Amino acid sequence: MNDMAQGNREVVRGKVRMTPSEALVETMVAQGVTDIFGIVGSAYMDALDIFPAAGIRFIPVAHEQGAVHMADGYSRVSGRHGVCIAQNGPGVTNFVTGLAAAYWAHSPVVAITPETGSMTLGLGGFQETEQLPIFSKITKYQGHVNNPKRMAEITARCFDRAMLEMGPTQLNIPRDFFYGDIECEIPKPIRIAPGAGDEAALAEAVKVLSTARFPVILSGGGVIMSEGMKEAIALAELLHAPVANSYLHNDTFPASHPLWVGPLGYQGSKAAMKLIAKADVVLALGTRLGPFGTLPQYGMEYWPKDAKIVQIDADPKMLGLVKPISIGIQADARAAAAALVSRLSGKPLACQQNKAERDAAIKAEKAAWEKELEQWTHETDAYSVEISKGSSHMHPRQMLRALERAMPKGAMVSTDIGNICSVSNSYLRFDEPRSMLAAMSFGNCGYAFPVAVGAKIARPDRPAVAYVGDGAFGISFNELLTCAREKVGVTVVVFNNGQWGAEKKNHVDFYSRRYQGVELENPSWAAVAKAFGCDGVVVDRVGDVGAAMQESVKRQQEGRTTLIEMMVTKELGDPFRRDALSKPIRHLEKYKTYV
């Protein structure tokens, strides 16, 4: 670990002679960078050398994909840039999946990608590939340093744009451009506030909301990014409107608030779905209304097709993109919510007249869903019943409920892609923003563990917990190395069901249980953790879940990572995408039985 105490965070002022490496590092200091994830490489060693003097900690990781995920988790809980760096060529191509994930999580990650030297570019030398086309579709902006004199300018632009557009950017630097003499000034960061939105559109929204009889708020990721929770609460209370979380954003409204009704989408809250189905006006606050977020669930088509939809998003391209809307407002969610509160306050509101009725509906739906969840101790489809009969392992739902109950206050929870992680959506409730770090629309297995590590590095004062399937852990367990070496304490909960369950569910539902490549032969993941220098425990009884969680959280404070290996049955919850598969049809004779 670098000694941060030696770092000097004062940024040089005025036009000064320096090297491009110094310009890069000073610009990052000006942008507030204190941590960079990566694997060491000769390409950027000249800049790396002065990180400690600038008060920048370099966090060496096991795989560059892990570095991007860590930067992603870091940015999601801190609201600051997450930064990663790698060797040109193979180090940089290892960034691809991580950056695609960060792109769809709207994380301001800056990927610094040194490239082959400018004088050999195109000759097919060592570690050479075209590094801009690879990332063109998964970054908001690509800065290429085409002359060493522009190092500070282009670096600053990459950092500014990541915040402005809320997504990853790439800073591509030919490796010989770190050296030499330049004269330049370090640019000040540019931060643009998107504001509360167009006056006329706000006035329209006020008209629609003040006549609404059953308004429902859908609180999205924009509420977190704009730090707008307080304003969202004020708006909800003024309208006395139930608030649903958008899919995988369960931390966008406090679960302890009486108006909170839970998340929409896959394995979400039936209360949220039933209430939004009744809405005559939906205020979609800081959400792009992504295509997966409102898919039918539990056999319910709940999206209110006849309701007026008022959508607020900082990115105007998202307005009306997926769902038809009545009013679109390009705005910061916090500023727009505050503007609506001030314009609606003191006005006669139709929804005040039936407040008691709506209140009763909210309470009844929430209680019904709670009761159903409480009784839903295991899956009841034929496959699940058959496979879990006689198993001594835990039912996933009971284990998830026990985890929910044991969750420490202020926890940051990352979730992976998999059947049990998806079911956990019903059991993840938060009171604080920047707490839920799900793998978002990119949906890559292997996301959650490194993201929790990055989150912990940004917020060592908060407990960090990763939920990971046993298959996905096989993709990401190498970062146990980083935890042990860097003394980062997180809790990794690995759901050991011995299968790539989410995909197996498709074999069960659509392919007459013709299993291929879905069975796992796991090592003892707890023993693997110990071999890496972390702690590992195996839990096979629901009654032991809480103590294991509490114990692991204590060890986080000592910088120790604990893997809790949960032994669970092979039962499987509802699949994610019934819409995307259909029963097989075969025309050729040799495949006839494959139906």
Residues interacting with Mg ion, by CB under 5 A? 469-471, 497, 501
What would the two tokens of residue 478 be?
Answer: 């190498």
User: Which residue among 26, 470, 479, 486 contacts ligand TPP (CB under 6 A)?
Assistant: 470
Q: How far is the CB of 399 from ligand TPP (least distance, A)?
A: 12
Q: How far is CA 74 from CA 105, 126, 352, 455, 464, in A?
A: 12, 32, 42, 4, 11
455 binds, among ligand TPP, Mg ion, none (CB under 5 to 8 A by kind): none
Query: Closest separation between CB of residue 176 and ligand TPP, Å?
Result: 35
Q: Which does 419 bind (CB under 5 to 8 A by kind): ligand TPP, Mg ion, none?
A: ligand TPP
- Contact range with ligand TPP by CB under 6 A, out of 242-250, 265-273, 463-471, 580-588: 463-471
Residue 72 near residue 99, CB atoms below 8 Å: no
Cβ-closest position to Mg ion: 469
DSSP 286: S
Q: Which stretch binds ligand TPP (CB under 6 A): 24-32, 57-65, 309-317, 444-452?
A: 444-452
To the nearest 5 percent, what fractions of the chain are helix, strand and coil?
A: 40, 15, 40
Minimum CB distance to ligand TPP, residue 444 (Å):
4
CA distance 457 to 42: 25
Residue 204 interacting partner from ligand TPP, Mg ion, none (CB closer than 5 to 8 Å by kind): none
User: Locate tokens 């006056």: which residue?
Assistant: 199
Annotate 149-190 with DSSP letters as a single string.
GGHHHHHHHHHHHHHHTTS-EEEEEEGGGGSS-EEE-PPPP-
Question: Maximum Cα–Cα distance for the chain, whole Å?
Answer: 77
Q: Which residues contact 414 (CB under 8 A, 6 or more apart)?
A: 73, 437, 438, 439, 447, 448, 449, 451, 452, 455, 464, 465, 466, 467
Q: Please identify, using beta-carbon distances, which residue of 184 and 564 lies nearer to Mg ion.
A: 564
The verdict on 443 binding ligand TPP (CB under 6 A) reads: yes
Contact 221, 166 (CB under 8 A): no
d(CA 283, CA 293) in angstroms, rounded, equals 15
Whose tokens are 């939809």? That residue is: 309
Compute the least distance from the CB of residue 499 to ligand TPP, in Å.
5
Q: What's the burial of 72, exposed, middle or buried (CB within 10 Å: 0-12/13-18/19+)?
A: buried
> Between 501 and 536, whose beta carbon lies closer to ligand TPP?
501
For 325-388, the three-class secondary structure string (H helix, E strand, C coil) is CCEEEECCHHHHHHHHHHHHCCCCCHHHHCHHHHHHHHHHHHHHHHHHHHHCCCCCCHHHHHHH
User: Residue 588 Cβ, how far from ligand TPP at the closest point, in Å?
Assistant: 27
How many helices (H) and strands (E) in the chain? 23, 20
Nearer to ligand TPP, 263 or 469 (CB): 469
Distance CA 98, CA 172 (A): 17
Q: From CA 257, how far away is CA 475, in angstroms rounded?
A: 38
Q: Which of 98/197 has CB closer to ligand TPP? A: 98
* Binding residue (CB under 6 A) for ligand TPP from 105, 173, 232, 445: 445
Question: Taking the complex as a whole, how short is the minimal distance between the CB of residue 66 and ligand TPP, in angstroms?
Answer: 13
Distance in Å, CB of 516 to ligand TPP, minimum: 12
AA letter at 425: N
Question: Rounded to an integer, what is the distance from CA 43 to the centroid of its chain?
Answer: 30
Q: In this structure, how many other beta carbons lie within 10 angstroms of the beta carbon of residue 404?
A: 16
Q: Report the partner that residue 503 touches, choosing among ligand TPP, Mg ion, none (CB closer than 5 to 8 A by kind).
A: ligand TPP
Q: Considering only residues 499 through 528, tell me which ones interact with ligand TPP, judged by CB under 6 A.
A: 499-503
472 binds, among ligand TPP, Mg ion, none (CB under 5 to 8 A by kind): ligand TPP
Question: CB of 525: closest distance to Mg ion in angstroms?
Answer: 11
Question: Would you state the structure tokens that stand for residue 437, as one six-digit string?
Answer: 């770090």
Shorter beta-carbon distance to Mg ion: residue 345 or 391: 391
Kindly tell me which of 230 and 577 has the beta carbon lying closer to ligand TPP: 577
With respect to ligand TPP, which residue has the nearer C-beta, 168 or 471?
A: 471
- Comparing every residue's Cβ against ligand TPP, the nearest one is 469
Q: Rank residues 470 and 486 by Cβ distance to Mg ion and give the closer one.
A: 470
What are 173's strand-pairing partners?
Answer: 114
Q: Residue 444 touches which of Mg ion, ligand TPP, none (CB < 5 to 8 A by kind)? A: ligand TPP
Which residues inside 403-432 make contact with ligand TPP, applying CB under 6 A? 417-420
| Least distance between Mg ion and beta carbon 471 (Å) | 5
Q: Tell me the two tokens of residue 272.
A: 């949220």
CB of 397: closest distance to ligand TPP in angstroms? 12
Task: In whole angstroms, give the CA distance from residue 56 to residue 486.
Answer: 15
DSSP string, 420-463: HHHHGGGG---SSSS-EEE--TT--TT-HHHHHHHHHHH-TTS-
Among Mg ion, ligand TPP, none, what does residue 565 contact (CB within 5–8 Å per kind)? none
Minimum distance between the CB of residue 469 and Mg ion, rounded to whole angstroms?
Answer: 4
Binding flag, residue 549, ligand TPP (CB under 6 A): no
Q: What does the per-residue mask of binding to ligand TPP show for 307-346, with x meaning CB under 6 A? A: ----------------------------------------
Q: Is 292 in the site for ligand TPP (CB under 6 A)?
A: no
Closer residue to ligand TPP in complex, CB, 178/427 = 427
Instruction: Please give the structure tokens belonging to residue 52.
Output: 């400690």
Bridge partners of 136, per DSSP, are none
Pick out residues in 475-504 that bind ligand TPP (CB under 6 A): 495, 497, 499-503
Q: Which residue in the set 87, 142, 169, 444 belongs to the binding site for ligand TPP (CB under 6 A)?
A: 444
446 binds, among ligand TPP, Mg ion, none (CB under 5 to 8 A by kind): ligand TPP
Toward Mg ion, which CB reaches closer, 328 or 471?
A: 471
Q: Which residues bind ligand TPP (CB under 6 A)?
A: 417-420, 443-446, 469-472, 495, 497, 499-503
